[in-house]
Amino acid sequence: MVLAKKPRSTKPPSRIIAARPPKTALRAVLTSLPLILAAALALRLGFAWNYAAHSPHRALSIIPFLFESGNIAHSLATGSGFSSPFRIPTGPTAWMTPLYPLFLSAIMRIFGAYTFASWLAAVLCNIGFSTAACLPVYAVGRRIGGASLGAAAAWLWVIFPNAILLSFESLWDTSLSALLGATVLWATLRLPDSRRRLAWAAYGFLWGVGLMTNAALLSLLPFLLAWLAFRARPRNFARPALAAAVALFCCVPWTVRNYVVFHTFIPLRSVLGLQLWVGNNPRAKVVWLGEQHPINDTVERNRYVTLGETAYMHEKLTNALDYILRHPAREAGLVAGRFVSIWAGGTPTPVADFFRNRSLWFRYVLLFNLAAALGTAIAIVLLFRARHPYAVPLAVFPLVFPWAYYLTLALPRYRHPIDPVLLLLLAVTVRRFVTSKVAVTMS
Per DSSP, the three-state class of 203 is helix
> What does the alpha-carbon distance between residue 55 and residue 41 come to, in Å, rounded to a whole number?
21
Q: What is the pLDDT of residue 9?
A: 46
Domains: count for the chain: 1
> What does the alpha-carbon distance between residue 177 and residue 100 come to, in Å, rounded to a whole number?
10
Other CB atoms within 10 A of residue 46 CB: 11
User: Is 236 inside a domain boundary?
Assistant: yes
Amino acid identity of residue 310, one-letter, is T
Quick one: DSSP state of residue 402? T
> What does the alpha-carbon distance between residue 254 and residue 241 come to, in Å, rounded to a whole number?
21
> What does the alpha-carbon distance between residue 246 and residue 202 come to, in Å, rounded to a whole number?
8
Q: What is the pLDDT of residue 23?
A: 66
> What does the alpha-carbon distance between residue 138 and residue 157 come to, in Å, rounded to a whole number?
10
User: Is 79 inside a domain boundary?
Assistant: no
Quick one: DSSP state of residue 266? -
User: Is 92 inside a domain boundary?
Assistant: no
Domain range for 225 = 191-269
User: Is 364 inside a domain boundary?
Assistant: no
Q: Is 136 in contact with 419 (CB distance < 8 Å)?
A: no
User: Is 403 inside a domain boundary?
Assistant: no
User: Is 306 inside a domain boundary?
Assistant: no
Alpha helix stretches (DSSP H) within 285-358: 298-307, 309-326, 328-344, 350-356
pLDDT, tens digit (0-9, with 9 covering 90-100), for 247-263 = 999 999 999 999 999 99
Which among 275, 309, 269 has a CA at the least distance from the CA of 292? 275
User: Is 131 inside a domain boundary?
Assistant: no
User: Which residues in 57-163 belong to E strands, given as ranges?
Assistant: none
Low-confidence stretches of the chain (pLDDT < 50) are 1-19, 437-443
> Considering the entire predicted model, what is its pTM?
0.91
Query: What would the DSSP string read from start to end of 117-153?
Result: HHHHHHHHHHHHHHHHTHHHHHHHHHHHH-HHHHHHH
User: Is 256 inside a domain boundary?
Assistant: yes
